[in-house]
A and B are shown apart, each in its own frame.
Chain A
Amino acid sequence: GAGVSQTPSNKVTEKGKYVELRCDPISGHTALYWYRQSLGQGPEFLIYFQGTGAADDSGLPNDRFFAVRPEGSVSTLKIQRTERGDSAVYLCASSRTTDTQYFGPGTRLTVL
């Protein structure tokens, strides 16, 4: 079946702009996770949804970052007033159970 999909695959923006990154999880997966991966590092947790609600948002670095999942399926990660330090690959993962997470291909965000 279809895996996790993320759009866009690449996003280039200017410092100070607003961006939205989209994640389509595997059908039927109730849990959805966002991670950020910097070059040469492992993914770092940002936020976790169980259904429509954010079960854990402790990884969001500051209040410029926000994520929603209004219908318990598609999720959008929103970044306001982007900074050059926000440049990274943003990964989304989904899970049916409370263990195995399946990752999408990521969105590479570049802030100029």
Chain B
Amino acid sequence: GENVEQHPSTLSVQEGDSAVIKCTYSDSASNYFPWYKQELGKGPQLIIDIRSNVGEKKDQRIAVTLNKTAKHFSLHITETQPEDSAVYFCAASRGGNQFYFGTGTSLTVIP
């Protein structure tokens, strides 16, 4: 089955700096890659996703890049704000099936 690895497990940045979280996957058939933000005591919230026919997608301060050849994808958050502090999860899927999640990155934005 699919194996998703996520790094780093914890990340601290100064407010206004950028944050980058990286994930790798093993199944070349995976074609859908969402990113979720999870705040304490809440369910995961979708923040951005990318499909395998696209190399990059941007939504305001958030961007995701995908390298299918290397089987890795990354989340980029620019101009970080304290409210960006949360645990972020990447996931991979073949589409219509279960998501395979990474182990999460705890992001702390220091004011």
Contacts and interface: CB of A to CB of B under 8 A. Distances in A.
Interface of A: 4, 31, 33, 35, 40-45, 48, 56, 59, 91, 98-106
B46 A42 contact: no
Given A43-B101, A102-B46, A103-B36, 19 more contacts: A33-B98, A33-B99, A40-B103, A41-B103, A42-B89, A42-B91, A42-B102, A42-B104, A43-B99, A48-B98, A98-B95, A99-B32, A99-B34, A99-B95, A100-B34, A103-B43, A103-B44, A104-B43, A106-B42
B91 to A, nearest CB: 8
Interface residues of B, number: 26
A106 B43 contact: yes
A98 B31 CA distance: 11
Contact of A44 (B43, B101, B104): B101
B60 to A, nearest CB: 18
A91 B91 CA distance: 15
Secondary structure of the A contact surface, majority rule? loop
Nearest to A6: B43
Given A42-B89, A91-B43, A91-B44, A101 B104 contact: no
B96 A31 contact: yes
A109 to B, nearest CB: 14
Interface in B9-29: none
A44 B98 CA distance: 9
Contacts of A105: 41-43
B34 to A, nearest CB: 7
